[in-house]
Every structure is written in structure tokens, then in C-alpha cells.
Amino acid sequence: EIVLTQSPGTLSLSPGERATLSCRASQSVSSSYLAWYQQKPGQAPRLLIYGASSRATGIPDRFSGSGSGTDFTLTISRLEPEDFAVYYCQQYGSSPPFTFGQGTKLEIK
């Protein structure tokens, strides 16, 4: 099973700053199979990025994804107040097919 480790666990930043979130896989993951989600309290996850770097429909261009192999990054270029949430990475593999990271909480400093 591929394990995804996200860092940091909590990131404290101010609106307008740049956020960089990391997702590291225990084995190589195809870029096509790496996605990022945003989750706000009391809400379902929302797809942000798929295929490591493609933005989902309606996602602002301040969100970007990059990486390959075992290291992937979600970057938010200029934080807006509504961006403070928990972020999860997810990969598709063999057995089991899907795993999620443990999440990074992005909080207001």
C-alpha cells in the first residue's frame, strides 16, 4: 500500500501570503494519479487539482499543483480568507486502489 505523508501538519499564514503544501509518497506515483482536495469544517471535500497539476472546474488560478515520482506540491499563490481549510492529497495505485494523506491544516496566523 502506498502511504502519503503530508507536511506540515499545520501551516499558519496570513492572507496575501504564499502557501506551499507537500505530499510525499512511500513509492513512486504516476502524476496522472495524484489529486488534491480542500475541505472546510462541516463540508465535503472539494476537488482542487487532478493529474498532479490540472485545476478542476471553477478552481481559481491561485491554486497550482506540481511534482512527480514521490514528491508533490500544492501551492496557493496569494491566500484569500476563504482558503483557510484542510487540504488532502490522494493517489490511485494498485492495492488498495486509493489512499489519502493525513491532511494539512492551513490556518490564519
Partner 1 sequence: QVTLRESGPALVKPTQTLTLTCTFSGFSLSTSGMCVSWVRQPPGKALEWLALIDWDDDKYYSTSLKTRLTISKDTSKNQVVLTMTNMDPVDTATYYCARMRGGYYHFDYWGQGTLVTVSS
Instruction: Pick from 12, 68, 82, 98 the residue near partner 1 by CB under 8 A.
Output: 98
Q: How far is the CB of 62 from partner 1 (least distance, A)?
A: 20
- Told to check if 46 binds partner 1 by CB under 8 A, we report yes
CA-to-CA distance for 86 and 37, rounded, in angstroms?
A: 8
- Told to check if 102 binds partner 1 by CB under 8 A, we report yes
Q: How far is the CB of 15 from partner 1 (least distance, A)?
A: 25
C-alpha distances in Å from residue 80, one per residue of 25, 85, 101: 28, 11, 24
- Told to check if 28 binds partner 1 by CB under 8 A, we report no
Cis peptide bond N-terminal to 41, omega within 30: no
Cis peptide bond N-terminal to 96, omega within 30: yes
- Told to check if 103 binds partner 1 by CB under 8 A, we report yes
* φ/ψ bin of 103: left (φ > 0), alpha (ψ from -120 to 50), beta (otherwise): left
What residue ranges bind partner 1 (CB under 8 A)? 1, 32-33, 35, 37, 39, 43-47, 50, 56, 88, 90, 92, 95-103
